[in-house]
Structure 1
């Protein structure tokens, strides 16, 4: 979620707040009636100690806000919806949907599977877990992110995953890699994740391993 924020403006705001806190501490220690004085070694040590304490407290507060505190704002009715669309969507939770592969089954129909996705996001990290409900394969997401494309203004979720099949069919691979790109779509009363995926599955045999993904957050 950090990636979608305007970095330069946010860093300037954080630097401004930190500077105010630090200067306030120095002024209190030195005395506001005689600020311009010749500092002794003891004064310098005292100022450094308090400045270090202020820095640690400031970093701790920012970390808590980035990890959990922001949710208190995003969960405010109506305000959360505005923040989802204009700042960054809160995608935390479990998602359910289906994957439609261009691979055909024995009857010539596109292969469709139900899947579940678990998303854990904050302003420090973004993590995805994806699994198919038929237990034929298990996937591990090795890299994931959410970002806003300045070209169309949409939010996107992209990830790279590794899949393992413990008992593959004779026409399948036991292990393969893939990637997906999903657009965050705001419907009337819910958020959807819709997009495509592609893999290197059976590429040696000219296999067609791509498809579409559609997910909706579970209530």
Structure 2
């Protein structure tokens, strides 16, 4: 998550740590008390990188955490319900039409209605630290096509043109059920936006390269909704 701080802050912190090492060593004749103060500041900075510490301060339920989530980037740690809406029915209809198993389908003809997206429900966990954001997804149903999905690279963004806070990531996916022409593993990318009006909701688009050599790779929309914890329910405002 360090990427959201920007180069100026990162360079400033790195510069301070480098200078503080020299100061603590006493090369500039500083008093012992001054060196202790510098060492304490360094300890606070380093301890703040530990997950339990920064998550306690950055907690989305407290006033400080809410301010940091709004101004810098939210704490996304937790369990999520995921809904994928895939354009596979459109791809399949074109394939069926090419084999004359279905009526002619022209995706560029706006007067001809396209099939509804295919809906798949998953569960996910997001593990967020100062140095990494990892997203893992698994199916809810035991007979689901998707076996697992995990991120390879995740980049948080908070300085976009729309001022939205976003996640851009690459993922690796493995399916439980595969056709003879299918790939054992394939890769994809996604760009999801954190909804400022609904805490814990992220949505955007994804696409993958599954069976791209045969032109049947798909894309779609993804929505993640954080599951409410007991503490979250207790702090929700009353609607009565």
TM-score (ref. length: structure 2): 0.69
Are residue 175 (structure 1) and residue 185 (structure 2) matched? yes
* CA shift for structure 1 position 186: 1.7
Structure with the higher fraction of residues in strand conformation: 1
* CA shift for structure 1 position 153: 1.3
Deviant stretches of 4+, over 4 Å: 16-22, 57-61, 105-109
Contact 1:163/1:175, CA 8 A, preserved across alignment? yes
Match of 2:7 in 1: 7
Summarize the Cα distance change of 1:13–1:207 in structure 2 as closer, same or farther, 3 Å threshold: closer
- d(CA) in 2 for partners of 1:204 and 1:19? 54
- d(CA) in 1 for partners of 2:45 and 2:206? 36
Q: How many residues align?
A: 197
> Which sections of structure 1, spanning at least 5 residues, go unmatched?
33-49
> Which sections of structure 2, spanning at least 5 residues, go unmatched?
94-114, 229-240
Are residue 146 (structure 1) and residue 159 (structure 2) matched? no
Summarize the Cα distance change of 1:58–1:200 in structure 2 as closer, same or farther, 3 Å threshold: same
Listed as ranges, the matches of 1:78-93 within 5 Å are 78-93=63-78
> RMSD over aligned Cα, in angstroms?
3.3
* CA shift for structure 1 position 19: 4.2
3-state SS, counterpart of residue 195 of structure 2: strand
- d(CA) in 2 for partners of 1:153 and 1:130? 27
Contact 1:113/1:133, CA 8 A, preserved across alignment? no
Listed as ranges, the matches of 1:23-172 within 5 Å are 23=23, 26=26, 27-28=30-31, 61-68=44-51, 69-75=53-59, 77-104=62-89, 109-134=116-141, 135-137=144-146, 138-169=148-179, 172=182
